[in-house]
């Protein structure tokens, strides 16, 4: 099928053990271990509970049209995240409660929409990040594509990429680096726990502060090294 109407096959399913481990890792720990340059910007989290972890099933569509999202609904596997590049359009919602109910019923882990949603209260317990909210519904004319690279909030997301979202935001990364990233983030979490323990001592002098100041050529009083 020609560009603009491509429907590509699903990528291999993500490793279930890695996905389970990611449920216990906060997004800042993941982005910190990707040089703090990776992550989706500009979307709002509309669920009040729950964490988003899954594998990207991508949809590219023109703003305000969800015809090819309907095609993607027929392809969902348990653990997939519907990632929709709708060009950031806010004049018509791309999905709402009915699509949510069907997708979640088929095991969809959540939604990432660079565009608008509606029926926003229905997402209070279903992971959902979107550019905005509008009551006006979508058109169903196309064009669009399924399982192609998409651009979401300044981040390129490929089919099968791992998507992790919590109250701090969204990060995405290739499935092949997921296990290594989990290990790195776990070490970072252990280091943060050591810092918390040091803070709890109430001591003014803290090694984690001294380390940063020393690297910048400053002593603990903020003066340059003599």
Q: What domains lie within the chain, and their CATH numbers?
A: 16-180 (3.50.30.40)
Q: How far apart are CA 23 and CA 21, in angstroms?
A: 5
pLDDT of amino acid 224: 55
Q: Are 8 and 150 in contact (CB under 8 A)?
A: no
Q: Is the pLDDT of residue 212 over 50?
A: yes
At residue 45, the 3 state secondary structure works out as strand
**pLDDT tens digits, residue range 37-77?**
999 999 999 999 999 999 999 999 999 999 999 999 999 99
Output the six-digit token pair for 193.
Answer: 């726990």
Q: pTM for this one?
A: 0.93
Q: How far apart are CA 43 and CA 116, in angstroms?
A: 10
Listed in order, strand segments (DSSP E) in the chain are 44-45, 52-61, 80-85, 93-95, 110-117, 128-133, 144-146, 150-152, 155-157, 162-166, 169-173
**pLDDT tens digits, residue range 178-189?**
999 999 999 999
**pLDDT tens digits, residue range 157-168?**
999 999 999 999
At residue 168, the 3 state secondary structure works out as coil
Output the six-digit token pair for 174.
Answer: 């290739």
């Amino acid at each position: 099928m020609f560009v603009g109407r491509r429907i590509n096959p699903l990528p291999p399913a993500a490793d279930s053990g890695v996905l389970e481990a990611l449920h216990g890792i906060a997004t800042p720990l993941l982005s910190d271990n990707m040089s703090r340059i990776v992550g989706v910007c500009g979307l709002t989290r509309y669920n009040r509970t729950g964490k988003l972890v899954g594998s990207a099933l991508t949809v590219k569509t023109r703003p305000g049209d969800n015809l090819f999202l309907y095609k993607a609904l027929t392809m969902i596997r348990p653990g997939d995240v519907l990632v929709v590049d709708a060009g950031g359009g806010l004049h018509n919602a791309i999905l709402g409660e009915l699509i949510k109910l069907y997708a979640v019923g088929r095991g969809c882990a959540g939604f990432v929409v660079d565009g608008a949603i509606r029926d926003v209260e229905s997402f209070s317990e279903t992971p959902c990040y979107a550019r905005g909210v509008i009551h006006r519904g979508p058109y169903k004319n196309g064009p669009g594509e399924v399982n192609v690279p998409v651009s979401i909030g300044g981040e390129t997301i490929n089919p099968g990429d791992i998507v992790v979202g919590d109250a701090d935001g969204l990060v995405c990364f290739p499935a092949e680096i997921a296990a290594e990233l989990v290990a790195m983030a776990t070490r970072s979490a252990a280091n943060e726990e050591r810092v918390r323990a040091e803070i709890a001592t109430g001591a003014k002098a803290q090694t984690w502060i001294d380390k940063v100041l020393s690297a910048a050529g400053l002593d603990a009083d903020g003066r340059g090294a003599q």
